[in-house]
Amino acid sequence: MIPLRISKDEINQLPLGQFEGEMFLIDDLEDVEEAAEFLAKQRIIGFDTETKPAFRRGVINPVALLQLSTSTQAFLFRLNNIGSFPDSLRNILEKESIVKVGAAVHDDIKGLAKLTDSFYPQSFFDLNDELKKVGFHNVGVRNLCGMVLKIRISKAEQVSNWEADELTEKQKRYAATDAWACLEIFEKLKEEGYLDPLFKK
């Protein structure tokens, strides 16, 4: 049984877990196409973005990193270095046939929309919104990892500099873990029937 609520103490007792698959850091427009071609063939992917934190009121930085993940491969697109929001990536996020699973995706989508003139995201599954409908009391990636995957994920890198010249290994692993975890949580809940009420016609 998967619990519907979890406390901080319970999370802290769980083993630390993270994405252990292959990571691809993409910071050149030329390398985007190959990765996008692969991702466009997927049926479902994990999704997240990272933005350099602004510690001053009213300052909002643009999205620096877009993470798209399968269960074994995570693609980290450094949008701040690529210098744009490439059409091939936008097409994936607008494609109805690919389900993009994330948590609190509204802010991510809003951030990405600011990088382009037109953006029509489709087929996003927001774990935070949807799981409340089926009785989950705690949501958010860290809580859900604890309840569903039985692991504790580190959030230490969340407020690090995502526009740094070089991303550290810890930053890359953190970013990959967030997108991958969303996908894993979705797959496990779907497999065990927790999402059935959401998909009944």
- What is residue 123's predicted lDDT score, i.e. its pLDDT? 97
In a domain, 3, yes or no: no
Please check whether residue 126 lies inside any domain of the structure.
yes
- The string of pLDDT tens digits covering residues 65-113 is 999 999 999 999 999 999 889 999 999 999 999 999 999 999 999 999 9
CA-CA distance, 89 to 77, in Å (whole number)?
A: 9
Strand partners, 63: 51
Say if residue 86 is exposed, middle or buried (CB neighbours under 10 Å; 0-12, 13-18, 19+): buried
Tens of pLDDT, residues 151-193: 999 887 877 899 999 999 999 999 999 999 999 999 999 999 9
CATH number at residue 20: 3.30.420.10
- pLDDT tens for residues 134-147? 999 999 999 999 99
Residue 36 forms part of a structural domain: yes
144 within domain boundaries = yes
Which structural domain range is residue 168 located in? Answer: 8-199
Total number of domains constituting the chain: 1
Is 64 a domain residue?
yes
Q: Determine, yes or no, domain membership for 1.
A: no
Looking at the domain assignment, is residue 86 inside a domain?
Answer: yes
Kindly report the backbone phi and psi dihedral angles of residue 33, in degrees, each rounded to the nearest multiple of 5, phi listed first.
-60, -45
* 2 within a domain of the structure (yes/no): no
Alpha-carbon torsion angle 76, 36, 44, 173, nearest 10: -10
Stretch 106-122: mean pLDDT, rounded?
94
Average pLDDT for 21-35: 94
